[in-house]
Amino acid sequence: MAADPAAHRAPVDLPLPADLPLPVDLLLPAARGHVAAGEPVVAGERSAPARAALFLLAAAVLAGSLAAAVRIGTADVGWAGLARVLGARLGLDVTPPPPLVDSLVWDLRLPRVLMAALVGASLAVCGAVLQAVTRNALADPYLLGVSSGASAGAVTVVVLGVGASALGVTGGALAGALLAFGLLLLLLRRTGLDSTRIVLTGVVVGQLFTALTSLVLMASADADTTRAVTHWLLGSMAPARWDTVAACAVVTPLGLLVAWLCSNALDGLAFGTDTAASLGIGVRRTRLLLLVVTAVLTAVAVATVGAIGFVGLIVPHGVRFLVGPSHRVLLPYAALAGAVFLVWTDAVARVAFAPREIPVGVITALLGVPLFLLVLRRRGEL
Amino acid sequence: MRHPVRLGAALAGTLTLALAATGCGAKGTEAAAGTPAAETTVTSCGRQLSFAAPPKRAVTLDQTSTEILLELGLQDRMAGTANIKTKIPARYAAAYAKVPVIAPKIATGEQLRAATPDFVVAGSADLLTKDRAGTREELAALKVPAFVSAVGCPRRERAGASPFELLFSDYENLGKVFGAAPRAGRLAADQRAAVAKARKTAAETACGGGRPTVVYLYSVFNGMPYVAGGTGLPSEMSRIVGAKNAFDDVKEDWPEVSWEEVAKRNPDYIVIGDLSERGRPGDSAAEKRAALTEHPVVSKLAAVRDGRILEVPGIELDPSVRSVHALGLLAEGLKGAGHGR
């Protein structure tokens, strides 16, 4: 655990195999010969005050994005209206806004923007963690089948009405997600949580629950229900309310902290089991812990706002490109970048096709694909 | 083609609203002149709604609700409509033009709140969820009562009741809420009479030999037929006109079935829902007719060979203020054939 993260950027110090497979290559850009010269300055190499300033700047960008995004929506409230709502809510001496305008801003838009930030941070960090744990550049938070489980749970509640009153869609999705992850752990219980095995088992579990979702939809849903569920499956911030934001605001920071405390272990795992073990990392235990943390974070996110794609895949890669592969630096920046990315994509989803609102998952992919290609091109992968 | 018209209507609506706000429009209608009760209470889909005064800014969340309020002459008390699936009939066009469209498709919670309604009318409980316009609980907390049509209330709460009677109870309840009970009562009475007439036509022309079976072809999507199931309005329509919906055993409104299954049920009649106003592929009656005559198996069915195919406006096969029209067409269409097996 005591390895200096800086060591990973100096390939000569590490016993790496001669022919690096592509995934590792993507995950550790510093291991490539050509990268060393022309790469942007890795954040970890800066002095401590510079690092702090850079992080504060990123945090300020997030704060600015949150403020700007609250202003954007299908109904135009205006800065004055927003100020009145917030002023009245904070007990300041202002003319209270009409109750419906207050509700529009306070009950719908604020929780929605905050939820986008929390979910974005959560998905980006989960993606970064799973990419390291499975040593797979294509890993994303839904790799473990959690989102498929959530879909199956949500569809069971919505279409079949099983536990509709007790659980609701969110509860059903959460139950489904945890069930899928439980099944994954059950299937993996006798193995050493080998990275390939995790990926394959996750795919299998995901396929199973996807099939169950389709089965329920095809067998019993009518066209309107199917459309409503499809909208939900693509991911939408619209159902965000203060109660779900509160739940996420408790779980997400906790999960991110645990992941960040495992930074060194993640650095080791990204190089492979042998390297990690030689660094004194309890590979199986750490992997299990990280799988549980990411599964819970993803389950909470998916249960609330559906399976928003691409954030967990692209943001870690983009951030790794900017700040380097050391997880101690990567994870906090991934969290900030994920939050900013989702806050803005959700704002776009709200107004791009106004007065219609489109699922945010569509926008994350539309914007994510070109950004991802840009990153790959800049790094010389394309 | 439809979009500019709708935009024009929306603009006209906004203009009217602006005029009304400056005091140069809005004459009192019959409905507005109705006497408001001190405190009106109605039950809607399991919830009690109370009104100190008739609503002045109602928002309808779908076309069915919109048309009911327009039929009741309440356009001056409407602050917005949403989710228009097909053309508004010509007889409502002038009134409809006065009402702003808050969303052409399903309204979001923000759009609904921005319209500052004092009453919300939804044809289905599905429109009032967290990811759409917001739940009825949330709206109740904002002192905005939300009416859900008895027809669109989840199935378990309307077991056994005739969809037509549920529809008429909506008219009466909405009439009560808006202080327009006499007009709503007349509408319900007229439509009850239309149902009775269809029943009578069927009874008079029945010539023994049991009830003819009917398949209602609503749409053809990706080559698969969507037909009327046992829970929708066509099932009840069939009973009224002395026929039987061939897919009564499928407990859905519009299930997707296979052509083979349609052939197997071998219906005496096929009723095509003409959705050409909706204008998607496979929506027009001609396309559906073609699908029937071109299918290798279905084209051999007696109903297709002998041309026992009726066309009715598809939109009227879902419960709405226009549904009795389709019922009349159905009764007339089945009358002429006078056949029995």
- For residue B97, pLDDT beyond 90: yes
- What gap in Å lies between CA B245 and CA A99, rounded to an integer? 49
In single-letter form, the type of residue at position B238 comes to S
Q: What digits encode the pLDDT tens for the residues A294-334?
A: 999 999 999 889 889 889 999 999 899 889 899 999 999 99
pLDDT at residue number A30? 47
DSSP 8-state secondary structure symbol assigned to residue A161: -
Contact at CB, B114 and A74, closer than 8 angstroms: yes
Q: Which residues pair with B43 in a beta bridge?
A: B48
The residue range of the domain holding B271 is 207-337
Q: B336: pLDDT confidence band, cut at 50, 70 and 90?
A: low
In terms of average pLDDT, the best of A244-258, B22-36, B247-261 is A244-258
Q: What digits encode the pLDDT tens for the residues A65-117?
A: 999 999 998 888 888 889 899 899 888 888 888 899 999 999 999 999 999 99
Same domain, B138 and B212: no
**Which residues of A fall within a CB distance of 8 Å from B128?**
none
Q: B217: pLDDT confidence band, cut at 50, 70 and 90?
A: very high
Q: What digits encode the pLDDT tens for the residues A221-273?
A: 666 777 777 777 788 898 899 999 999 999 999 999 999 999 999 999 988 88
- For residue B297, pLDDT beyond 50: yes
Same domain, B221 and B292: yes
Q: Given CA atoms A151, A157, A163, A167 in this order, what sign does their dihedral have?
A: positive
Same domain, B235 and B126: no
Same domain, B246 and B106: no
B63 found inside a domain: yes
Same domain, B63 and B112: yes
A245 found inside a domain: yes
**Which of B103, B108, B138 is the closest to A238 by Cβ?**
B108
Chain A residue with Cα closest to B130: A239
B134 found inside a domain: yes
Structure tokens at B7: 């935009």
B83 found inside a domain: yes
pLDDT at residue number A26? 57
Q: Check which CATH number belongs to the domain holding A327 and give it.
A: 1.10.3470.10
**Which residues of B fall within a CB distance of 8 Å from A223?**
226, 254
pLDDT at residue number A271? 85
Task: Report DSSP letters for B206-253, one per residue.
Answer: --SS-PPEEEEEEEEETTEEEE--TTSHHHHHHHHTT-EETTTTS-SS
- What gap in Å lies between CA A266 and CA A272, rounded to an integer? 10
Q: Check which CATH number belongs to the domain holding B55 and give it.
A: 3.40.50.1980
B86 found inside a domain: yes
Contact at CB, A225 and B253, closer than 8 angstroms: no
Same domain, B160 and B248: no
Same domain, B59 and B147: yes
**Which residues of A fall within a CB distance of 8 Å from B104?**
355-356
B196 found inside a domain: no
Q: A1: pLDDT confidence band, cut at 50, 70 and 90?
A: very low
Match 């228009």 to its residue by tokens.
Answer: B84
Same domain, B166 and B303: no
Same domain, B217 and B99: no
A248 found inside a domain: yes
Same domain, B258 and B307: yes
B315 found inside a domain: yes
B323 found inside a domain: yes
The residue range of the domain holding A160 is 5-9+13-32+43-378
Number of folded domains in chain B?
2
A47 found inside a domain: yes
Task: Choose between A205 and A219: higher pLDDT.
Answer: A205
Chain A residue with Cα closest to B229: A222
- For residue B224, pLDDT beyond 90: no
B186 found inside a domain: no
- For residue A337, pLDDT beyond 90: yes
Match 């009245």 to its residue by tokens.
Answer: A88
pLDDT at residue number B337? 55
Q: What digits encode the pLDDT tens for the residues B177-213?
A: 999 999 999 999 999 999 999 999 888 877 666 789 9
pLDDT at residue number B179? 95
Q: pTM value?
A: 0.82
- What gap in Å lies between CA A193 and CA A303, rounded to an integer? 26
Same domain, B173 and B212: no
**Which of A220, A232, A356 is the closest to B131 by Cβ?**
A232
Q: What mean pLDDT is predicted for residues B297-313?
A: 92
A38 found inside a domain: no
User: Strands (DSSP E) along chain B, which ranges?
Assistant: 40-44, 47-51, 58-60, 78-82, 101-103, 119-122, 146-148, 213-221, 224-227, 244-245, 269-274, 309-313
Q: What digits encode the pLDDT tens for the residues A120-134?
A: 999 999 999 999 999
Q: Which of B3, B106, B108 to mutate to test the interface with A (most CBs of A within 10 A)?
A: B108
Please tell me if residue B142 touches chain A, with a CB cutoff of 8 Å.
yes
Residues 6+ apart with CB under 8 A from A256: A121, A122, A125, A297, A331, A335
Number of folded domains in chain A?
1
Same domain, B232 and B161: no
pLDDT at residue number A61? 96
